[in-house]
């Protein structure tokens, strides 16, 4: 069976609609879950960084907190107080003792770059002996000194910078500085400076990050950089951070993350230092290796799609297969066959449809059978009608003749004609049989000829020449009489001389041939053609039916109805010489007919 | 046939799905460089002090390499004057067909042949700090030395105005090196109208610069010395410091060695023009990455220079430049 995959078929429609629906639902599902996965991954990385940021803040704060404790210890040191109150009175021994104590602090803690106490009178207590003060740096102008004085006893935390207070020593530090007040009168004695190695904070910042390119940077409370891993790039404006946005975010405290399109900025504030610690995570780092996720998503989509596609295909054909089978069976109607569907696999609807169809076909078959029978009946009744047509003319003419002969007291002739008429009708009726023996038919035509001969005295003579071998074969009754009638009325009656009618009958192979010939008027070529057309043409084409032809045609049609197309009448005629009508019938006996 | 058709439609749809997904999420992945071999970087010197010029260049290189996710391999002779050794190293690297070479040429002319060799093997070259006499390199990342020279010259012109000793000497570090040639040209251009006593070469030896300075100090007409690099500046400054003649002789130097900065603080050196080595290293790798990604790159990238004096040397923005942070400290 050849079927194209056109979009008109039910199967392809079901398949297409399902495919589109499944495609869009898989697609939407994947989109959503992909977004979800990405967001989840991103959130977890950002959350990780936030946790790390929290740890960083805690560590920095605890670190600074420790340093403050150290500052407390130094400031509450009575000896230092005493020395700063009156350096001359304290003497060089006190200075040495204090400096060695400060040196011990530095030594004990590896993360201190230096401790310095600067008195308001210019005295300096250094934690690192054997170092000279940088003659070019003015202590009172240093930011840490000024800030400590401004802070009035609270600890000032500097940003990161290069400490240049000692000669030849330039170290990166974050400074804690605090004013020292006199315990007696509360006047400012000096400023304590504790320098933390910046490296420590640097290490913390660099170690507590996740992600290939992630990094942390620190802003002080004014938005200046305390630490940035690429500080030089920042200062030469090769790189910039959205400091304004980050400060705004921290100030408004409404968002946790700022996203500039490429980087996620997460910030946390350190309470002790006032610093803002910012984590930067690259979007690209979060989505590294996403092509594999993508690929697997696509692969899952593909597999799902194929599986569901095949399933849909199966489903669609499950629905349409019975429909198509039904359709094929129904198609047989086109060729005139009415097949029943019978049992069919399919849904209730399909089975119901098949059942209804079967009922319909069965009904159609019955109707057709009825139709055929009706046709048959009609044909037979037609036949009877045709036979009946013969009777009335002839009957009243003959009866007239009998009356007339009776009046003339020609009793013998009356008896002769009446008996002939009686014989004629007996054979005509012949108990309703259509087929009679040729003997009976001859007897019938002879009766007719007897009557006519009496009516038309000396008008014609006749000869019956029937081969005795065919006497027992059968013939459709009233076959010859109309032909003889025709010969009398249309042939002999029209001429002045005495007519002659010859009737022959013989066997010719499987057929019987009768010939009814007369020497009457005959027909010219045109009349003959008209007659033949009138007799042989089908009913609807027969426009002008000559009265002459009616009886002859009845014979012709009846023969054909009973015996088939190959039998019937044929004509030959010549004007002024006469007409020959030939009858062809199958040679059959009463037995072979049954 | 029908089933084949359906399978075909399914596959096609799945393919469409895949393509759409890729297009949708492809944009989520910024284009990344994936190289099988590291980028080769040949510097002038690898045996310097921690935090000296080339070490800081190295820091910039590492930072950019990390950011762009690419491997780099740094090599070079121990000392800057070992030109033949650098040529050998470069030739050996070229033979291994790396994806790209970043070169800081220690000689303007003698490395040209190797660079041509690299071009014949289709290895792109980016020059860093010092160029070669060739049009082959795809980009040159360096301080605009002419501009740096002009800066130094202009400062010298400003400082020497009003002094009685008017002549100016130039102490250059080496002949036939692009940096020295450009800086000298810049200095001379800015000192247009002043008398220039001449140019002396110290061959990247501090001792030689020291001796040159002692001789120059004897010349009563010379009131200013422009020293064209770190080594020259240190030699000059040492001579001035030792003879106690910082008030008679104005010194403008280049670069920012710690000792140089001490001299600056003390007033021995009046000003120094400082390059940005970190940026140089960073931008060279960035440019290399951009080039390998097929993006458009500039043929010359000026990494800039800054004039540092005692007044601005402790400004926060210059601190990292002058005192590069050493994580090992």
3-state secondary structure A104-143: HHHHHCCCEEEEEEEECCCCEEECCCCCCECCCCCHHHCH
* Residues of chain B contacting A26 with CB distance shorter than 8 Å: 17
The reply to whether residue B10 touches residue A3, judged by beta carbons under 8 angstroms, is no
Count contacts between A and B (CB, < 8 Å). Answer: 135
Q: Residue B17's closest CA among A264, A309, A385?
A: A309
Q: For residues B219-231, give the mean pLDDT.
A: 92
B25 closest CB neighbour out of A213, A236, A290: A290
Structure tokens at B90: 């470069």
Which tops the pLDDT comparison, B201 or A337?
B201
Please state, in angstroms and rounded to a whole number, the distance separating the CA atoms of residues B107 and B80: 10
Considering the domain delimited by A29-66+211-288, tell me its CATH architecture: 2-Layer Sandwich (3.30)
Q: For residues B4-20, give the mean pLDDT.
A: 66
Please state, in angstroms and rounded to a whole number, the distance separating the CA atoms of residues A242 and A219: 12
* Interface probe with A: pick from B3, B5, B6, most Cβ of A within 10 Å: B6
* Residues of chain A contacting B321 with CB distance shorter than 8 Å: 232, 235
Give the model's pLDDT for residue B196.
92
Best mean pLDDT range from A314-323, A379-388, B69-78, B147-156:
B147-156
Q: How far is B56 from chain A (nearest CA, A)?
A: 11
Please state, in angstroms and rounded to a whole number, the distance separating the CA atoms of residues A469 and B237: 165
Give the model's pLDDT for residue B189.
95
Q: How far is CA B288 from CA A234, A238, B12, in A?
A: 21, 16, 40
Contact B106, B54 (CB under 8 A): no
**Taking CA A163 as the corner, what is the angle to CA A160 and CA A167, rounded to the nearest 5 degrees?**
170
Strands A276-282 and A215-219: antiparallel
Give the model's pLDDT for residue A270.
86
What are the phi and psi torsion angles at A332 (to 5°)? -65, -20
Q: Residue B182's closest CA among B169, B192, B194, B173?
A: B173
The label of the residue with tokens 């037995």 reads A591
Q: Which residues contact A169 (CB under 8 A, 6 or more apart)?
A: A131, A134, A163
Is A233 part of the contact surface with chain B (CB cutoff 8 Å)? yes
Interface of B with A in 249-288 (CB under 8 A): 258, 261-262, 265-266, 276, 278-279, 282-283
Give the model's pLDDT for residue A17.
81
DSSP one-letter code for A96: H
A202 closest CB neighbour out of B11, B279, B325: B325
Tell me the fold of A77-208. Answer: Beta-Lactamase (3.30.450)
- List domains and CATH numbers for chain B: 39-143+277-298 (3.40.50.2300), 145-275 (3.40.50.2300)
Query: pTM score > 0.90 for this model?
Result: no
Q: For residues B55-75, give the mean pLDDT.
A: 90
Sequence spans of domains, chain A: 29-66+211-288, 77-208, 290-390, 410-593
Q: How far is CA A437 from CA A52, A430, A444, in A?
A: 128, 11, 11
Q: How far is CA A250 from CA A82, A245, A263, B23, in A?
A: 45, 9, 17, 36
Q: Residue B25's closest CA among A34, A42, A281, A303?
A: A34
Give the model's pLDDT for residue B42.
93
Q: Which residues contact A231 (CB under 8 A, 6 or more apart)?
A: A225, B320, B325
Structure tokens at A440: 């009976």
Contact A266, A282 (CB under 8 A): no
Please state, in angstroms and rounded to a whole number, the distance separating the CA atoms of residues A78 and A98: 10
The reply to whether residue A161 touches residue B322, judged by beta carbons under 8 angstroms, is no
Please state, in angstroms and rounded to a whole number, the distance separating the CA atoms of residues B308 and B255: 9
* Residues of chain B contacting A238 with CB distance shorter than 8 Å: 279, 282-283
Give the model's pLDDT for residue A390.
57
Among A184-198, B23-37, B234-248, B276-290, where is mean pLDDT lowest? B23-37
Contact A49, A211 (CB under 8 A): yes
* Residues of chain B contacting A202 with CB distance shorter than 8 Å: 325, 327
Structure tokens at B19: 């393509």
Please state, in angstroms and rounded to a whole number, the distance separating the CA atoms of residues A287 and A283: 7
Does residue B52 have a pLDDT over 70? yes
Give the model's pLDDT for residue A321.
80
Give the model's pLDDT for residue A252.
81
DSSP H or E segment with residue A427: helix A411-429
Contact A112, A194 (CB under 8 A): yes
Tell me the fold of A410-593. Answer: Heat Shock Protein 90 (3.30.565)
The reply to whether residue B25 touches residue A159, judged by beta carbons under 8 angstroms, is no
Q: What is the DSSP string of B30-80?
A: ------SSPEEEE-S-S-S-TTSHHHHHHHHHHHHHHHHT--EEEE--SST
Q: Which residues contact A567 (CB under 8 A, 6 or more apart)?
A: A511, A559, A560, A584, A585, A586
Q: For residues B37-44, give the mean pLDDT.
A: 91
Comparing A29-66+211-288 with A77-208, is the CATH topology the same?
A: yes
Please state, in angstroms and rounded to a whole number, the distance separating the CA atoms of residues B116 and B137: 9
Give the model's pLDDT for residue A63.
87
Q: Within 10 A of A337 (CB to CB), how many other CB atoms are there?
A: 10
**What is the percent of chain B where pLDDT is above 90?**
57
Q: Which residues contact B172 (CB under 8 A, 6 or more apart)?
A: B180, B183, B184, B199, B200, B201, B202, B228, B229, B232
Please state, in angstroms and rounded to a whole number, the distance separating the CA atoms of residues B76 and B44: 6
Contact A508, A471 (CB under 8 A): no
pLDDT tens digits along B109-128: 899 999 999 999 999 999 99
Contact A157, A72 (CB under 8 A): no
Confidence of residue B36 (pLDDT cuts 50, 70, 90): confident
Please state, in angstroms and rounded to a whole number, the distance separating the CA atoms of residues A468 and A438: 10
The reply to whether residue A38 touches residue B28, judged by beta carbons under 8 angstroms, is yes
The label of the residue with tokens 């991103």 reads A42
Interface of B with A in 6-25 (CB under 8 A): 6-7, 9-11, 13-14, 17-18, 20-22, 24-25
Each residue's pLDDT expressed in tens, for chain A with a length of 594 residues: 444 455 667 777 777 787 788 878 887 887 788 788 878 888 888 888 888 888 889 988 988 888 899 998 888 888 888 888 887 777 788 888 888 888 998 888 888 888 999 888 888 888 887 788 888 778 888 889 998 989 888 888 888 888 888 877 788 899 999 999 887 788 888 899 999 988 888 888 888 777 778 888 999 888 888 888 888 888 887 888 888 888 888 888 767 788 888 888 888 888 888 888 998 888 777 766 666 777 777 778 778 877 887 888 788 777 778 888 888 888 877 777 777 777 777 778 888 888 888 898 889 889 989 888 888 777 766 665 566 555 577 788 888 888 988 998 888 889 999 999 888 888 877 777 778 899 999 998 999 899 888 888 888 899 999 999 898 898 888 888 888 988 888 888 888 888 899 999 999 988 999 999 999 888 888 888 888 887 777 655 554 555 556 778 888 888 887 787 888 889 898 888 889 999 999 988 877 765
Does residue B53 have a pLDDT over 60? yes
Give the model's pLDDT for residue B183.
93
Provide Rg for chain A, Cα atoms: 68
DSSP one-letter code for A498: P
Strands A435-437 and A460-466: unpaired
């Amino acid at each position: 069976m050849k079927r194209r995959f056109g979009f008109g078929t039910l199967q392809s429609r079901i398949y297409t609609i399902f495919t589109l629906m499944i495609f869009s639902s898989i697609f939407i599902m994947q989109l959503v879950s992909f977004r979800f996965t990405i967001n989840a991954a991103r959130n977890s990385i950002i959350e990780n960084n936030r946790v790390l940021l929290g740890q960083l803040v805690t560590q920095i704060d605890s670190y600074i907190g420790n340093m403050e404790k150290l500052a407390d210890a130094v400031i509450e040191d009575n000896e230092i107080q005493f020395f700063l109150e009156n350096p001359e009175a304290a003497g060089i021994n006190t200075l040495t003792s204090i400096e060695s104590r400060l040196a011990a602090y530095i030594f004990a803690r590896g993360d201190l770059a230096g401790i310095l106490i600067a008195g308001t009178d210019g005295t300096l207590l250094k934690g690192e002996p054997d170092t000279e003060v940088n003659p070019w740096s003015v202590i009172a102008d240093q930011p840490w000194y000024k800030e400590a004085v401004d802070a009035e006893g609270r600890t000032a935390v500097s940003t990161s910078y290069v400490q240049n207070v000692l000669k030849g020593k330039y170290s990166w530090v974050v400074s804690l500085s605090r004013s020292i007040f006199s315990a007696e009168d509360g006047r400012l004695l000096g400023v304590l400076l504790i320098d933390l190695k910046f490296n420590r904070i640097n290490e913390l910042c660099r170690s507590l990050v996740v992600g290939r390119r992630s990094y942390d940077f620190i802003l002080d409370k004014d938005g200046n950089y305390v630490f940035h891993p690429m500080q030089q790039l920042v200062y030469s404006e090769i790189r910039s951070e959205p400091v304004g946005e980050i400060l705004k975010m921290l100030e408004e405290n409404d968002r946790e993350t700022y996203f500039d399109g490429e980087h996620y900025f997460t910030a946390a504030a350190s309470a002790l230092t006032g610093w803002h610690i910012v984590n930067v995570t690259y979007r690209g780092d979060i989505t590294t290796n996403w092509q594999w996720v993508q690929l697997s998503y696509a692969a899952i989509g593909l597999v799902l799609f194929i599986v569901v596609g095949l399933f849909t295909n199966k489903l669609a054909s499950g629905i349409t297969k019975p429909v198509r089978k039904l359709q094929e069976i129904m198609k047989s109607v086109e060729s005139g066959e009415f097949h029943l569907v019978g049992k069919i696999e399919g849904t209730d609807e399909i089975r119901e449809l098949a059942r209804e169809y079967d009922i319909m076909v069965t009904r159609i078959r019955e109707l057709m059978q009825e139709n055929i029978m009706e046709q048959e009946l009609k044909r037979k009744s037609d036949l009877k009608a045709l036979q009946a047509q013969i009777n009335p003319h002839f009957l009243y003419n003959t009866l007239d003749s009998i009356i007339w002969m009776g009046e003339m007291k020609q009793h013998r002739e009356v008896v002769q004609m009446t008996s002939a008429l009686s014989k004629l009708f007996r054979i005509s009726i012949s108990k309703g049989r259509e087929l009679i023996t040729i003997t009976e038919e001859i007897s019938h035509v002879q009766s007719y000829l007897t009557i006519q001969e009496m009516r038309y005295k000396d008008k014609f003579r006749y000869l019956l020449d029937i081969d005795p071998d065919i006497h027992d074969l059968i013939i459709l009754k009233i076959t010859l009489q109309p032909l003889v009638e025709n010969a009398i009325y249309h042939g002999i009656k029209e001429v002045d001389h005495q007519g002659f009618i010859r009737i022959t009958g013989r066997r010719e192979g499987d057929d019987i041939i009768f010939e009814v010939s007369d020497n009457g008027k005959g027909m010219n070529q045109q009349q003959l053609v008209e007659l033949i057309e009138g007799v042989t043409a089908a009913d609807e084409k027969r426009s002008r039916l000559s009265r002459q032809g009616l009886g002859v045609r009845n014979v012709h049609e009846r023969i054909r109805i009973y015996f088939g197309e190959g039998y019937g009448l044929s004509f030959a005629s010549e004007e002024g010489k006469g007409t020959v009508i030939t009858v062809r019938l199958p040679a059959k006996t009463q037995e072979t007919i049954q | 046939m029908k089933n084949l058709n359906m399978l075909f439609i399914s596959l096609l749809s799945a393919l469409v799905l895949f393509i759409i997904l890729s297009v949708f999420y492809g944009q989520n992945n910024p284009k990344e460089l994936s190289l099988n071999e590291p980028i080769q970087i040949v510097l002038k010197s690898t045996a310097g002090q921690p935090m000296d010029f080339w070490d800081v260049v190295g820091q910039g290189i590492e930072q950019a390499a990390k950011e762009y996710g690419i491997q780099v391999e740094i090599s070079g002779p121990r000392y800057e004057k070992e030109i033949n050794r650098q040529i050998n190293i470069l030739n050996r690297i070229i033979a291994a067909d790396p994806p790209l070479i970043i070169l800081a040429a220690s000689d303007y002319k003698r490395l040209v042949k190797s660079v041509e060799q690299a071009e014949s093997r289709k290895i792109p070259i980016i020059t860093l700090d010092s160029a070669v006499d060739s049009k082959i390199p795809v980009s040159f990342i360096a301080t605009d030395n002419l501009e740096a020279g002009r800066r130094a010259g202009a400062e010298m012109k400003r400082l020497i105005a009003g002094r009685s000793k008017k002549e100016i000497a130039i102490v250059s570090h080496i002949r036939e090196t692009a940096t020295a040639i450009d800086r000298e040209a810049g200095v001379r251009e800015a000192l247009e109208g002043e008398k220039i006593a001449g140019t002396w070469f110290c061959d990247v030896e501090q001792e030689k610069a020291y001796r040159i300075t002692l001789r120059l100090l004897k010349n009563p007409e010379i009131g200013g010395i422009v020293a064209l690099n770190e080594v020259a500046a240190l030699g000059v400054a040492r001579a001035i410091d030792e003879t106690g003649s910082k008030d008679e002789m104005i010194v403008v130097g280049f670069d920012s060695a710690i000792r140089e900065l001490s001299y600056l603080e003390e007033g021995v050196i009046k000003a120094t023009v400082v390059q940005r080595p970190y940026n140089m290293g960073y931008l060279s790798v960035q440019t290399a990455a951009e080039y390998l990604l097929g993006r458009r790159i500039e043929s010359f990238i000026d990494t800039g220079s800054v004039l540092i004096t005692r007044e601005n040397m402790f400004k926060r923005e210059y601190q990292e430049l002058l005192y590069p942070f050493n994580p090992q400290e």
